[in-house]
Amino acid sequence: MKKYLKTLIILTLIVAATFSFSQTLVQIKQRGKLLVGTEPTFPPFEFVDESNQIVGFDLDIANELAKRLGVKVEVVSLPFDSLIPALQQGKVDMVIAGMTITEDRAKVVDFSKPYFEANQAIVVRKDGNFRPQSLEELIGKKIAVQLGTTGDLIATDVKGIEVVRFQRFTDAFLELQNGRVDAVVLDEAPAKAYVKKFPKFILSKVVDTGETYGVAVRKGNKELLNFVNQTLDIMRASGTYNKIIDKWFE
């Protein structure tokens, strides 16, 4: 009798584990929408277009994921440093935000396989003659970053740089335009997008940081993580990945 009871308990545990395991995908399907957290001042990955829609490379990945689940994407727009807490609290299913896979973040969330390679860049005003060629040349200067980004981390790591932190990159660039800071440090592709849109800025130097972006899901959410990884594989194999690269990076 004892033996049967033990078997029963083990079986119950396995069934329970399987159910909690597959809960997210079922939940998303039942809900009919995939909740994606992002911070939309990061072109071409996520930004607000002329018709007030949040669009970009990351949203195309989100749409592909949603399409395979037969649901719609619902974008939850948050400050960058609130994205991981929102994910942990279950307010979003995943974060797709040009988020660099870092050791510290990987302690609290799980990352998909890398989907993009990135470096940091230093952007300055074109009309001045300040053209820094390294982070060290920012010592004694005032720079703007987005709060909680890798740009924030690497600039803060250099003693003597005065770092001013903003929730939105648009505000960081406003500060640069108004001459209240000497430079903005941010990821290379968004740096290029801002410089292209606002010719009064210039990209002074790319700082090689060798970062990669990943989609973040709640820690231990293997089912969703596998689904994301599988979708990324399919997107690469089918040419969809290259298509969206061409779309957003001409």
Which residues would be at the binding site for ligand ARG (CB under 6 A)? Answer: 38-39, 41-42, 46, 80, 97-100, 146, 149-150, 187
Provide, rounded to whole angstroms, the least separation between the CB of residue 98 and ligand ARG. Answer: 4
Q: Which is nearer to ligand ARG, 54 or 124 (CB)?
A: 54
- State which residue, 25 or 86, has the beta carbon closest to ligand ARG: 86
Nearer to ligand ARG, 42 or 173 (CB): 42
What are 122's strand-pairing partners? 185, 205
Q: In the bound complex, what is the minimum distance in angstroms from residue 80's beta carbon to ligand ARG?
A: 4
In the complex, least distance from residue 13 CB atom to ligand ARG, rounded to whole angstroms: 37
Nearer to ligand ARG, 119 or 126 (CB): 119
Minimum gap (Å) between residue 59 Cβ and ligand ARG: 11
Alpha helix segments (H runs only) across the chain: 2-21, 23-31, 57-69, 83-88, 103-108, 150-157, 169-177, 188-197, 222-238, 240-249
Angle at the Cα of 239 (from 238 to 241), degrees rounded to 5?
Answer: 110
d(CA 118, CA 32): 33
Query: Checking DSSP bridges between strand 94-95 and strand 33-38, what pairing results, if any?
Result: parallel
Euclidean distance between CA atoms 113 and 227, whole angstroms: 11
